[in-house]
Amino acid sequence: MFNLYKHKPEPMDKEISKAKLKILNQKDFEKNIIQIMTSKSGISMIDAIVHYCEKNNIEIETAAALVTAKMKTKIEKEAIVIRMVESTGARLPLKEE
C-alpha cells in the first residue's frame, strides 16, 4: 500500500467537553432569546434572534429550525404590528401607530 500521508493522524478524543460542543435545543434557544430581550429593553424578538446569530456565528437558517411555536406566534404578531406582513384576520384600528 502507498503511504499517502506524511504524518499519522492523531486519534480523536472520545470525550469532548460540553463547553467546546455547543448544541442547542429549542428550550435553551428560547431562554437565550428571552434573556436578550429582557437585557436590551425595547428590542423585538426578530432583532434578538438576529443579534444572537451574529454574536454566536450562527446562520439565520439554523436559528429558524430552533424557533418554537410560541416564538413563531410572537414573531408573527410583531411583524403584523410593524406591517411587515399582512394580518390574516380582521382588526379594528383602535389606535394609530
pLDDT band at 82 (very low <50, low <70, confident <90, very high): confident
Higher confidence at residue 11 or residue 62? 62
Q: Give the chain's domain count.
A: 1
What is the mean pLDDT of the segment spanning 35-45? 90
The answer on pLDDT for 2 being more than 60 is no
Query: Residue 69 domain-assigned?
Result: yes
pTM for this predicted structure: 0.64
Query: Residue 73 domain-assigned?
Result: yes
Query: Residue 63 domain-assigned?
Result: yes
Query: Residue 76 domain-assigned?
Result: yes
Asked if 46 contacts 78 with a C-beta cutoff of 8 angstroms, the reply is yes
User: In terms of residue numbers, what domain contains 52?
Assistant: 26-81
Query: Residue 65 domain-assigned?
Result: yes
Rounded CA-CA distance 66/50 in Å is: 13
Query: Residue 55 domain-assigned?
Result: yes
